[in-house]
Amino acid sequence: TDTSADALRTPIVAVLGHVDHGKTSLLDKIRGSAVIEGEAGAITQHIGATAVPLDVVSDMAGELVDPDDFDLPGLLFIDTPGHHSFTTLRSRGGALADIAVLVVDVNDGFQPQTLEAINILQNTQTPFIVAANKVDTVPGWNPNEDSPIKPSYDAQSDRVRGDLDDRLYAIIGELSDQGFSADMYWRVQDFQNNIGVVPVSAMTGEGVPDLLAVMMGLSQRYMKEEMAIDVDGPGVGTVLEVKEERGFGTTVDIVLYDGTIHEDDTIVVGGENQPIVTEVRALLQPRPLAEIRTESRFEQVESVGAAAGIKVAAPDLDEAMAGAPIRVVGDRDLDEVIEEVRAELAQVAVDTEEDGVVVKADTLGSLEAMADALSEAEIPIVRAEVGDIAPRDVAVASTAEDELHRAILGFNVDVLGDAADRADVEDVKIYTDDVIYQLVEEYDTFVEDQRQ
Ligand code: GTP
Ligand code: MG
């Protein structure tokens, strides 16, 4: 047997898409089917992430995946609940996700967050496939539980198939409008340059075997080199969330994408003001198959290797930031690692101009996404920061020379009371929203009104 599997890390698969299009259901289906197949013990569900080992993938995918063809250990799925985490995980240096699944509801088609997801995948050059979800809702659909999609599709009536085709071609058309060559996945030869559309149902499981097979193939064929890592090297990851945990104080939920992290390791974490140097007190894994967000009981483990999701408890994490890098120091020079973390944070720092609007966002990832959207709309930024809108932001905005730049755009943040009062006095406009494009639009409308 091939021993190179030891050195290949699990590919990270981000599941993205518009709200309610079925991202979590799809993962639930994958988790649930595994339980039904008696594989619960083999599934590890981590923070915001579900690791599905190769044997489980091959069980679910049936004849579509022959485990002997693969030397990857499996797939690590990252659920992105709503817009918020979606941007967070597009963080640091190389994209955190190796590949992505864009979930599109066949009834709903492309929606604002679908487009946002596509833009970011385009910017980060992340290969992706489209899961055209909820095929079971096509009127007259005759379900075939957990079947590969082709036989199920072929078994539908002409009318049902025609109805589904219309919806699928609408999605393929939308992809083509975005500059992608796309087709039904079974007609795609080269998944790197063409987007495969996989019809699925998270409800009935139809198409899930195909989805898993395509993702395994994509990772194995195109990503293998990137999967080869020094598993024993010092851990490198990205902070997904900063959370209070009873008995542990402030903790960070991270996705580790390289190396290994141990208890007592010295780590450097990106902080609001400067890199935080601290020591791992505990590594906490949610129970297998527990839902991350509501998980309250954790198993303490001594070490974890990439790729994995894990909660890290350590002192002094109060100022840690979602989207920031986390690095294990290991036997390297501490100052060097601090500089690396600082550089990674600075990389995120947005290009600013002499005159422009003030931008605030809840995470580094969403700040980046905001900066991208504003740059596309040719709106200059004078200052971009993570955090709620505070009086000093109003002070900065009020100094804008161009009247049109006396504005603060806040993504997913609160406006502190004093800031709102001060903005009134200083005649600074504050816009907040949790959809980036709407935020940009609101500001654009203001600009147009002023120009008339
Ligand atoms: P957010 O996390 O809020 O962005 O949503 P999501 O994309 O994770 O969607 P979720 O999985 O929560 O599903 C939203 C709704 O759609 C739920 O009521 C699901 O039961 C339903 N749903 C998801 N997939 C399917 C499907 O394949 N068929 C049908 N009929 N319903 C589905
Ligand atoms: Mg969800």
Q: Residue 86: helix, strand or coil by DSSP?
A: helix
ipTM at complex level: 0.99
Distance 23 CA to ligand 2 centre (A): 5
Residue 405 confidence class, pLDDT cut points 50, 70, 90: very high
pLDDT for 368? 80
Q: Which of 15, 25, 26, 135 to mutate to test the pocket of ligand 1 (most atoms within 8 A of CB)?
A: 25
**Tokens encoding 50:** 């579900």
Q: What is the pLDDT of residues 371-387, one digit of tens each?
A: 889 988 999 998 888 78
Nearest-atom number in ligand 1 for the CA of 103 is 7
Check whether 172 has a pLDDT greater than 90: yes
Q: What is the pLDDT of residues 253-302, one digit of tens each?
A: 888 988 999 999 999 999 877 899 999 999 998 655 444 444 566 788 99
Q: Who wins on pLDDT, 96 or 295?
A: 96
Residue 122 confidence class, pLDDT cut points 50, 70, 90: confident
- Indicate if ligand 1 lies below 6 Å from the C-beta of 119: no
Check whether 31 has a pLDDT greater than 90: no
Q: Who contacts 65 (Cβ-Cβ below 8 Å, separation ≥6)?
A: 57, 58, 209, 212, 213, 216
pLDDT (average), residues 168-172:
97
**Whole-number Å distance between alpha carbons of 94 and 160:** 42
Q: What is the pLDDT of residues 126-164, one digit of tens each?
A: 889 999 999 999 999 999 999 999 999 999 999 999 999
Residue bearing the CA closest to ligand 1, atom 24: 22
- Indicate if ligand 1 lies below 6 Å from the C-beta of 82: yes
pLDDT for 183? 96
Nearest-atom number in ligand 1 for the CA of 201 is 27
**Whole-number Å distance between alpha carbons of 210 and 205:** 10
Q: What is the pLDDT of residues 335-353, one digit of tens each?
A: 999 988 887 776 555 767 8
Distance 82 CA to ligand 2 centre (A): 6
The bridge status of strand 128-133 relative to strand 99-105 is parallel
Share of the chain above pLDDT 70, in %: 87
Q: What is the pLDDT of residues 199-231, one digit of tens each?
A: 999 999 999 999 999 999 888 877 777 777 777
Distance 168 CA to ligand 1 centre (A): 18
In which residue are the tokens 């597009």 written? 90
Check whether 173 has a pLDDT greater than 90: yes
Distance 41 CA to ligand 1 centre (A): 26
- Indicate if ligand 1 lies below 6 Å from the C-beta of 113: no
**Whole-number Å distance between alpha carbons of 3 and 22:** 37
Distance 19 CA to ligand 2 centre (A): 7
Distance 105 CA to ligand 1 centre (A): 9
pLDDT for 77? 85
Name the region of 108 (left: φ>0; alpha: ψ -120 to 50; beta: rest): alpha
Q: Is the distance from CB of 199 to CB of 153 less than 8 angstroms?
A: yes
The bridge status of strand 407-411 relative to strand 381-386 is unpaired
Q: Which of 22-31, 98-107, 390-399, 426-435 has the lowest mean pLDDT?
A: 22-31
Quote the DSSP letter at residue 320: B
* CA-to-CA dists, residue 118 to 127, 277, 357, angstroms: 10, 36, 25
Residue bearing the CA closest to ligand 1, atom 29: 134
Check whether 426 has a pLDDT greater than 90: yes
- Indicate if ligand 1 lies below 6 Å from the C-beta of 134: yes
